[in-house]
Amino acid sequence: MGSLKHYALAGILALAASTAAHAADLLPPPPMPYAPAIEVGGGWYLRGDVGITNQDVDRLSYVPKDEATRLGYGDETFEKAFLDFDSSPLVGIGVGYQFTNWIRADITGEYRGKATFTGLEKSTDNSDANFYTAKKSEWVGLANVYFDLGTWHGLTPFVGAGVGFTHTMIDNFTDASVANPSLLYTGDHGETELAWALHAGVAYDVTPNFKVEVAYRYLNLGDGETGTLTRSYDAPGCNCLAVKFKDLESHDFKVGMRWMLGGPVMAASNAPVVRKY
């Protein structure tokens, strides 16, 4: 009787082992590892801008100062009546990177078209007046950082700041005196100065990879300078002075476009990763 029990127990254990083996054969194989997904292009973007300038200058000053004072052209004898620029177009391009949903940065270059300058300064005793004309244009390069303030219905307001350089060109400057019928004039001249900017605007997501901006920018252009003044009509005087345009600034309104280079997240390959041992 004892032997029969042992045979029965051995049969039950064998049947259980066989059933477990068949159940294991029915399970699906473990998933094979695949190559990680990559984002094509990352956060890089290209940009283009067009706009209009609205420029100001604080004052004009003869340089060198000591020579101007010696020749009777010191600033203290004249006061500003008006110094005005016409509006001019601007066009720019740039490349940037979107670091997070909140922070992005770009490097931009732009050309600012020729703006007509007219000015009038009167002597303090009203005995004389100087009438000025010129043309002014710039090449501007800026490194900018922006803070996007959240997105609502595709609209993203932003603020930003930038710093860089400007190469300001003043062409065909003339200074006509009323009391002394003579004309001072210069050729073309360019000066490179530090520039800085403040930005504010709003962007609209036309598509996930294409955005349109409307923005205001304050741009400080530093100083500009004419070439050496020359007298017409063979009038006596020193051909050694230039005119400094002090504290040039501009209030710009721009429309910009940004093309995100990053596409949708895509798998690097559908083939499984093969490991060799």
CA 176 to chain centre: 38
Which one is the CATH code of 41-263: 1.20.1050.10, 2.40.160.20, 3.30.70.360, 3.30.70.20? 2.40.160.20
pLDDT in tens, 179-229: 776 788 888 999 999 999 999 999 999 999 999 999 999 999 999 999 998
Quote the pLDDT of residue 267: 41
Please give the average per-residue pLDDT across 247-263, as a whole number. 93
- Between β-strands 89-98 and 103-123, what pairing exists: parallel, antiparallel or unpaired? antiparallel
Whole-prediction pTM? 0.77
Residue 259 in this model has a pLDDT that exceeds 90: yes
221 with 166: CB under 8 angstroms? yes
The Cα 191–Cα 42 span in angstroms is 38
Whose structure tokens read 């002075």?
241
3-state helix, strand, coil in the chain (%, to 5): 10, 60, 25
Please give the average per-residue pLDDT across 12-35, as a whole number. 51
Please give the average per-residue pLDDT across 80-103, as a whole number. 95
Domain extents for the chain?
41-263
Cβ-proximal residues to 94 (8 Å cutoff; 6+ apart), any chain: 46, 47, 48, 49, 106, 107, 108, 109
Check residue 77 and report its DSSP letter: G
Quote the pLDDT of residue 232: 73
